[in-house]
Chains A and B, each alone.
Chain A
Amino acid sequence: DIQMTQSPSSLSASVGDRVTITCQASQDISNYLNWYQQKPGKAPKLLIYDASNLETGVPSRFSGSGSGTDFTFTISSLQPEDIATYSCQQYDDLPTFGGGTKVEIK
Chain B
Amino acid sequence: EVQLLESGGGLVQPGGSLRLSCAASGFTFSSYAMSWVRQAPGKGLEWVSGISGSSGSTYYADSVKGRFTISRDNSKNTLYLQMKSLRAEDTAVYYCAKVVRSTGWTRFDYWGQGTLVTVSS
B44 contacts which of A1, A34, A43, A100 (Cβ < 8 Å)?
A100
A87 to B37: give the CA distance in the assembly, Å. Answer: 13
A87 touches B47 (CB 8 A): no
Q: Is the CB of A44 within 8 A of B61?
A: no
**A91–B107 touching, CB < 8 Å:** yes
Of listed A36, A43, A89, residue having the most chain B CB within 10 A: A43
| Interfacial chain A residues near B108, Cβ < 8 Å | 34, 36, 44, 46, 89
A95 CB contacts on chain B under 8 angstroms: 35, 37, 47, 50, 105
Judged by DSSP, the binding face of A is loop
Measured CB to CB, the closest approach of chain A to B32, in angstroms, equals: 14
B2 CB → nearest A CB, Å: 12
Asked if A91 and B62 sit within 8 Å, CB to CB, the answer is no
A43, A49, A96, A100: which contacts B107 (Cβ < 8 A)?
A49
Contacts of B59 in A (CB 8 A): 94
- Of the residues B46, B50, B61, B95, contact of A43 by C-beta under 8 Å: B95
Interface residues of A (CB under 8 A from B): 1, 32, 34, 36, 38, 42-46, 49-50, 55, 87, 89, 91, 94-100
